[in-house]
Chains A and B, each alone.
Chain A
C-alpha cells in the first residue's frame, strides 16, 4: 500500500481480555517495528522484524505480549490478559533495507483497558 496501515484505530477492552493489533506495512519494506507510546512518554521499542531473520523481541515488557509477521508482510501484536497499564498508543513502522531513510509510521492504535 501507499502507507503503513494500522487497525483498529481505537480499541477499548476490558481488563483481562486479549487483544490483537494489526499492522500492514508498505509493500516491499522488509523491516517492521512496533513501538508503544504511553501518555507523556516517548516511544518505547517493543519488537523488530527484518526479513526472514529471527525477530528482536528485546523490548517486549512481559510474556503477555507477542507478535508475529506472516509472509514477511502483515504483522499482528497480541496482548493477552490485558492490564490497565497496557493502555497506550501502539505504533507500527516499516522501512526499506535498500533505500534506508528512516521509518514510515502508521497512525497507531489507541488501546484503552478499562
Chain B
C-alpha cells in the first residue's frame, strides 16, 4: 500500500528566511501525482503546488518550490522569503495513476510557525 511520511511534526522559521519541509512516500507505481496542501486555522485546505511524476523538472509556484527525487521517493517543499501568512499545517499528498480514478493519500502534516 502507498504511504506518505512527514517526519517533522512541527517547524519554525524566522520571517523572510527559507524553510524546507520534508516528505517521503512509498509506492511501486511509476506514474503518479504529488501535492503539497496548506491548511490555515480556517481549516480550508489549499493546494500549494503539484508535481507529475513523469516530469523531471521541479515544480515552482512563486515562493514555493519542490525538490522531487523520484528514485529516493522524496518530495520536499521549500518556502522562500517566509511570510506570517505562511503559518499553517502543511500536508504532503500522493495520488496514484492519473489515468484511473483513485483517492489522494495524505501524510500526517507539518505545523509551520513563522517567527516575526
A contact residues vs B (CB 8 Å cutoff): 31, 33, 35, 40-43, 45, 48, 50, 53, 56, 59, 89, 91, 93, 97, 100-103, 105, 107-108, 110
Note all chain B residues with C-beta closer than 8 A to A42.
4, 6, 91, 106-109
Which parts of B78-112 form the interface with A (CB within 8 Å)?
Answer: 91, 98, 101, 103-109
Bound CA–CA A48/B101 (angstroms): 10
Extra contacts, 18 of them, besides A41-B108, A42-B91 (Cβ < 8 A), are: A31-B101, A35-B106, A40-B108, A42-B6, A43-B91, A48-B103, A50-B101, A53-B101, A91-B45, A97-B101, A102-B35, A102-B47, A102-B50, A102-B104, A103-B47, A103-B104, A105-B46, A107-B44
Bound CA–CA A87/B51 (angstroms): 33
Of the candidates A31, A43, A89, A101, the one whose C-beta lies within 8 Å of that of B106 is A43
B contact residues vs A (CB 8 Å cutoff): 4, 6, 33, 35, 42-47, 50, 91, 98, 101, 103-109
